Structure formats: C-alpha cells, structure tokens
Amino acid sequence: MNADLERLIQLQKLDEEILRKTRLLESLPSEIKHLNVEVETARNGLKAFDAQVEADKKAKRDLEREVEVAKDQIAKDKGKLTAVKTNVEYRAILKELENFDKKIRALEDRELEIMEKLEGAQNARKAVEENAKEAEKRAKVVVAEKESAIGELKKRMDVLLADRASLVSGISGSIISSYEKTLKARDGVGVTRIKDMICSGCNQMVPPQLYYQIKSSDEIYKCPHCSRYLYFQPEEAESRVE
Ligand SMILES: [Zn+2]
C-alpha cells in the first residue's frame, strides 16, 4: 500500500477519536453548569418555602391584633351601654356589638385556615429540605465525576495531538492538506474504504477502471464524488482486524 495512504488511515483513526473527545470536552462544562443550576433551583425552592411560612406567620399575627382591637371595641361599647339614655342609642350600640362579633368570627376563621396551612407546612418542609439536600449530594458526585473526566480527556487529547503531529509530519504536504480539507467538509472522514466499487464515505460507485487502480497500484486516489482518499482492504484482512 502507498505509504502516505497507510499513514492517512492511521491518522483517520486518530482524528475520529480527537473529534469524539473534542465534542465531549465541549459538552461536559455545560452539563456541569446545568447540574449546578438544578442545585440552585432546589435551594431557591427551600428559600421560597421558608419565605411563604414567614409571610403566613405574619398574616396570623396581624389577624390576632385585629381580633384584639375588635375585642377592645366591644368592651368599650359594653361600658357605654350602662350610660345609655334612649332606646335608639341602645339599639345602635347593640347593632355595633353584633357587627364586632361577626367581624371577630370572620377573623378567627381566617386565622384557623392559616394555622392549618402552617401545620401542613411543618411536615412539608422536611420533604422540601431533604429534596434539596439530596439534589445537592447527587450533583456533587456527578460534577466531580465530570470534572475528573474533563481532566482525563485533556490528558488524552495532549497525547492524541502529539501523535497526530508526528504522523502528519510523515505525510506529503499536498496530500495532508487535501485530507484535512475533506475532513472538515465531509463529517470528519477524509479517507475511507472502497468495497465492491462503492465508496464507503458517500456510498456512490466509482468507475471500474479507478477501482482496479486502487486495488492494484501503489498510487493514492480520491473518490471522484466526495474527494475522500480511498483504500482497498481485502475481506480476509477485514475479518482478521475485527
Ligand atoms: Zn465518495
């Protein structure tokens, strides 16, 4: 086989791994960011929960104060009753007392609702807090894993890029530049196998004469359709490799 072609085949393998690892290195940081956002969301959920409980407690205190004020008014009105001189005045005060009673009952109903809500919140808070803690614990483990994966990937990439550079230095300049151009333009594949006259890169048939040249000569040829370099690999070699 042509020496450049042999090196291109090795280079293609390296480039596939480089491409896969580059994609991982691009996606991992955003995955880590996403996990951190999830933790932040869980923490904010707990904060919002606590803020709601505080708001409910304040509403309950306000209602209690309103009840106290209404009770004071009732006491004052009752005091007035003893000094009343006319029936009209008497009835007016009784009407007022009745209204205060109604108001107190309404306030106490609302107070009760809030108290029930607060009781429920006490149990619910435990679950919300545990969820937040659990999310944080899980994220911590996964983030650490992903960070260590990034470290490993970077180390492996250094090795791959060094191997690539030394391989590239042994390939003719015009061939490597053509390969790299095709690699970029054609989904990361710059050299591919020809099988039964079909290019494995674009699945199109090459002219029979070209096919026999690829099979038998020591020259290097490109697919006329996709410009990928082509190599022939006999069937038994294939099963031996795989
Ligand atoms: Zn092709």
**Rounded to the nearest whole angstrom, what is the distance from the C-alpha of residue 216 to the centroid of ligand 1?**
19
pTM given for the model: 0.71
The pLDDT assigned to 239 comes to 55
The b/e string for 186-195 (b: 16+ C-beta within 10 A; e otherwise) is: beebbbbebe
Report pLDDT digits (tens) over 182-223. Answer: 999 999 999 999 999 999 999 999 999 999 999 999 999 999
For residue 78, the CA-to-ligand 1 centroid distance in Å is 103
**Distance from the alpha carbon of residue 226 to the mean position of ligand 1, in angstroms:** 4
In sequence order, the 6+-apart residues with CB closer than 8 A to the CB of 1 are: 218, 231
**Which tens digit of pLDDT belongs to each residue from 36-73?**
999 999 999 999 999 999 999 999 999 999 999 999 99
pLDDT of 234: 83
Asked if 131 contacts 3 with a C-beta cutoff of 8 angstroms, the reply is no
Q: Report the pLDDT value the prediction gives residue 242, as an integer from 0 to 100.
A: 45
pLDDT of residue 123: 87
Given a cut of 60, whether residue 84 has pLDDT beyond it is yes
Task: For residue range 145-180, list pLDDT tens digits in order.
Answer: 999 999 999 999 999 999 999 999 999 999 999 999
- 191-195, strands of its sheet edge to edge: 198-199, 191-195, 229-232, 221-222
Q: How far is the CA of 83 from the centre of ligand 1 (A)?
A: 111
Cα–ligand 1 centroid distance for 207 (angstroms) = 11
Query: What's the 167 CA to ligand 1 centre distance in angstroms?
Result: 24
Ligand 1 center from residue 190 Cα (angstroms) = 10
Q: What is the pLDDT of residues 4-46, one digit of tens each?
A: 999 999 999 999 999 999 999 999 999 999 999 999 999 999 9
Q: Is the pLDDT of residue 232 over 50?
A: yes
Domain ranges of the chain: 3-169, 173-241
pLDDT bracket for residue 237 (50, 70, 90): low
Structure tokens at 168: 């590239």
224 alpha carbon – ligand 1 mean position (Å): 7
User: pLDDT digits over 102-154, tens only?
Assistant: 999 999 999 999 999 999 998 899 988 998 999 999 999 999 999 999 999 99
Pairing of strands 198-199, 229-232: unpaired
* 1 confidence band (pLDDT: 50, 70, 90): confident
- For ligand 1, the distance from its centroid to the CA atom of residue 203, given in whole angstroms, is 6
Architecture of domain 3-169: Orthogonal Bundle (1.10)
